[in-house]
Amino acid sequence: MIYEKYIRVLYIDMTENKIRIENRADLCEYLGGVGVATKLLEENIKPELDPLHEDQPIIFAIGAASTVFPVVTKTVAMFRSPLTGELGESYAGGRMAMTLFLAGYDAVVILGKAKRPSYITISRNDVGFKDARALWGATSDEVGRIIREREPGGGKRSIIRIGPGGENMSSFASVCVDTYRHFGRLGLGAVFGSKNLKAISIVGDRSVPIKNFKDYFKVYQEIYNRVTDTEIMSKYHDVGTPINIEPLNAVGGLPTKNLRQNVFEHGESISGEAFAQKNLVRKMACTGCPVGCIHIGQLRREFDKGHEYEVISVGYDYELIFALGSFLGVKTPNDILDLIDVVEQMGLDAMSTGVVLGWATEAFMKKLITEEQTIVPLAFGNVASYKKAIEYMAYKENDFYSVLAQGADKASDVYGGKEFAMTLAKNEMAGYHTGYAAVVGAAVGARHSHLCNGGYSLDQSMKEFNKEKIVDTLFAEEKERCMLNSLVICLFARKVYDRKTILAALNSIGNNLTDEELTAIGERIYRAKLRIKKALGFDQMSVKLPKRFFETPSMSGQLDEKIAYELIGMYNKKIEEFMAAENR
Amino acid sequence: MPKVLRADGMNKCIGCFTCMLACSGVNRQNYSLSKSAIRVKTSGGLQGKFISIVCLACRDERACAEACPSGALEKRPGGGVIFKAQRCIGCRKCETACIVSAVHYDEEENKPIICKHCGVCAKFCPHECLRMEEVDNDL
Ligand code: SF4
Ligand code: SF4
Ligand code: SF4
């Protein structure tokens, strides 16, 4: 809690409809955000129970500088992932961090299971358990609209909710935050579903007096000016993250058609510029972010014969264009927006959805699965089939789609095709076939996301291939991001938030830390994550990499499987030493 | 020449709320959305447009000031009003008098929150939705 020497944790028991608040001084050594959430996860997780058991916790946390500095906008969610069975960690922006801050909670722990479909309301002086029976089955948009009208706090409120995918506990169901942001990865939506939890509405209407206004505001202005002056503004605001589609395609790093190709022949027609010219209608921001990277595209869709049209607004960015575009051979912005909308309404993670469908398409082509199972014929570029298939996954339409809804790794266990199930330690790959650091980075990353340690970015900046350098950089970056995510900044602004800036910001709000302490915090958090992974039975050395990564050339040329495993081994040795060093 | 705030670029608004956080921060020294004199909100959920509710800087006649029984709202040169807190009795008449609902209310302090046309929000708006305009002195 800002200006206080404790972390204020709200515990919600959905079985008993009871709450409890604890002011935990001991959590301060984890700073906030992912640090606090990791510690709370470690305390509450049940390694012996299934990820979707009602006794498993959902943790949310905001950080030590949330909302009070520019672009410090994210909330972290932690849970046991139903997709990987191990560490679940996901970030979302929107208004959620602001509302938690102004409701007066640093972290929320949700346990138990409601007897019937429910939603929770959180405000500074109350927590409500509400009937959501009529909302069960509603799409993400519908439930947002209904709660918006029923609950108070407009403008100072955040509504997070699941769609049918979460209700039916698809292993990669997402949680939608304020319409355009998501806890996308690793299946938090399914954990909501397992608790009969449809939505949470949070109202933040406190006012917190600012101490040492002059010091604080000086630092605030410096950061604001750097954020708005530097190139991150143009990069993320102008065309937005899809600006990367064209250059990555040009250098052969854009995973295409289930990574059968590293270049998409229609790359140009799905480029950031193409979206901007044809579909972009507005941009939006998370609360407290002057950048505004959220790009909204408009799609006019015929819903009935006789020129009956609807206009829908869909958020898009790089990862979605990769997953539902190039990876599935879908070649126009309109078709991609159409697919994004279905994913959105069903409440699934767009990246996993695309990569899972990529596997299914190839498995169908190779006759590992039949049309009796898939119901519709799957083929790269067949948008009509994909739209149906996405709904079938969310509703677990038949046995096949029930398996598919558990991810590409599980599906390939059952139906074969492991060598082209494009997952890394069971999490579907991200949109970068850039080289060893991308593959190895996600394989060793604590949550197996490209954002654990930014391997894809290291591939692009590394001048010369060097094994030690890859391993050392990934390791250092993983620890650094543990620290950054305890604040919780949006990683788009990571260049602005260098160590000096972070220290100035924290000091100006009375958190007097040193550079060494920041390092120690990052390490403490990483160690806690590794402890959790171990307790959940994760073994780094048993991770199998799909052959396809080594068949289709990457941006850095053909990759050698042996080298990738060697790098994983080197990394594993490093973390073993890292863990042993603590006990010494 | 006096200046007044004009919120006429709201079509470009990205909903970052920086203006509100800056107004509350600088003028009220609070981290808050509730203490801001400008309110940004959506009309119809996040798929709707952003609109702002802030003093329009009425000239000649100011309904809020006319409604104030204790003379706490003085005409501000160029438009709008100057709030004299020590004269305010917290009757909330100004709040209802302003037909654009630009008089917000601070429940903690029991005082109205009215824009003083200082320009801080415009300075921190990253997308030129807000600007300051030089106007003649109408007094
Ligand atoms: S507060 Fe309302 S009535 Fe008073 S000057 Fe501003 S717009 Fe006019
Ligand atoms: S002009 Fe000043 S008082 Fe008025 S809304 Fe902007 S920051 Fe607040
Ligand atoms: S600062 Fe500008 S862009 Fe941000 S909410 Fe206010 S008016 Fe909109």
**pLDDT digits 0-9 by tens, A339-384:** 999 999 999 999 999 999 999 999 999 999 999 999 999 999 999 9
The two structure tokens encoding residue A485: 């995510």
**Using CA atoms, how far apart are residues A397 and A38, in angstroms rounded to an integer?**
35
Rounded to an integer, what distance in angstroms lies between the CA atom of residue A384 and that of residue A376? Answer: 9
Percent of chain A with pLDDT over 90: 94
Give the angle subtended at the CA of A426 by the CAs of A420 and A428, to the nearest 5°. Answer: 65
Answer whether residue A7 shows pLDDT above 60: yes
Query: pLDDT (tens digit, 9 = 90+) per residue, A143-191?
Result: 999 999 999 998 899 999 999 999 999 999 999 999 899 999 999 999 9
Rounded Cα–Cα distance for residues A555 and A557 (Å): 6
DSSP 8-state code for residue A26: G
Contact between A548 and A420 under an 8 Å Cβ cutoff? The reply is yes
Q: What tens digit of pLDDT does each residue of A46-94 get? A: 999 999 999 999 999 999 999 999 999 999 999 999 999 999 999 999 9
Domain limits, chain A: 7-204, 231-388, 427-582
Give yes or no for residue B6 CB within 6 A of ligand 3. Answer: no
* B54 Cβ below 6 A of ligand 1: no
How many contacts does A have with B, using Cβ atoms within 8 A? 87
Q: How confident is the model at residue B45 (pLDDT cuts 50, 70, 90)?
A: low
Convert A95-114 to b/e letters by CB count within 10 Å (16 or more is b): bbbbbbbbbbbbbbbbbbbb
CA distance A79 to A190: 11
Rounded to 5 degrees, what angle do the CA atoms A303, A308, A309 make?
A: 70
For residue A229, what pLDDT band results from cuts at 50, 70 and 90?
Answer: confident
DSSP notation for A150-210: HSS-TTSEEEEE--HHHHTT-TTB-EEETTTEEE-GGGHHHHHHHTTEEEEEEE----EEP
Has residue A287 got a pLDDT over 70?
yes
In sequence order, which residues have a C-beta less than 8 Å from that of residue B127 and are 6 or more positions away? A292, B9, B12, B13, B14
- Tell me the average pLDDT across A290-311: 89
| Residues A70, B18: C-beta atoms closer than 8 Å | yes
CB contact under 8 A, A179 and B14: no
The CATH-assigned architecture of domain A427-582 is Orthogonal Bundle (1.10)
Q: Measure the CA–CA gap between A197 and A118, rounded to whole angstroms.
A: 5
Give chain A's count of helices (H) and strands (E). 23, 18
- H runs (alpha helix) in A244-382: 245-250, 272-278, 318-324, 333-346, 350-365, 371-374
What the block records as the tokens of B56 is 């329009």
A287 touches chain B (CB under 8 A): yes
Does residue B82 have its Cβ closer than 6 Å to ligand 1?
no
Instruction: For helices A561-583 and A467-484, give the axis angle rounded to 10 degrees.
Output: 50
Whether the predicted pLDDT of B53 surpasses 90? yes
pLDDT at A292: 93
Euclidean distance between CA atoms B131 and A175, whole angstroms: 37
Cα-based angle A233, A219, A241 (whole degrees, multiple of 5): 15
Cα A462 to Cα A65, A254, B61, B97, distances in angstroms: 32, 18, 66, 64
How many other CB atoms are there within 10 angstroms of residue A192's CB atom? 28
Q: Do A290 and B18 meet the contact criterion of CB atoms below 8 Å apart? A: yes
* Residue ranges of domains in chain B: 3-134
The question of ipTM being above 0.85 is answered as yes
- The SS3 of residue A95 is coil
Q: Is the pLDDT of residue B47 over 70?
A: no
**Length of chain B counted residue by residue:** 139
CA A200, A58, A454 angle in degrees (round to 5)? Answer: 105
Point out the residue among A68, A145, A292 whose CB comes nearest to the CB of B14. Answer: A292
Strand partners, A10: A21, A108
Q: Which of A110, A91, A63, A245 is nearest to A181 (CA)?
A: A91
When the pLDDT of each residue in chain A is averaged and rounded to a whole number, the result is: 96
**DSSP codes joined into one string, A435-486:** -HHHHHHHHHSTT--TTTT-HHHHHHH-SS--HHHHHHHHHHHHHHHHHHTT
Q: Find chain B residues with C-beta within 8 A of A287's C-beta.
A: 15-17
CATH architecture designation of domain A7-204: 4-Layer Sandwich (3.60)
Report chain B residues whose CB lies below 8 A from the CB of A228.
126
Q: What is the pLDDT of residue A308?
A: 86
Class of domain B3-134 (CATH, top level): alpha beta
Query: Ligand 1: does its nearest atom lie under 6 Å from the Cβ of B81?
Result: yes
Contact (CB<8Å) A288/B21: yes
Give residue-wise pLDDT tens across range A563-582.
999 999 999 999 999 999 98
Extended strands (E) in A14-132: 18-24, 58-61, 75-80, 87-92, 107-111, 118-123, 126-131
Q: Tell whether the model's pLDDT for residue A583 goes beyond 80.
A: no
The CATH number assigned to the domain with range A231-388 reads 1.10.569.10
The closest alpha carbon to A526, from A581, A564, A568, belongs to A581
Amino acid making up residue B129: C
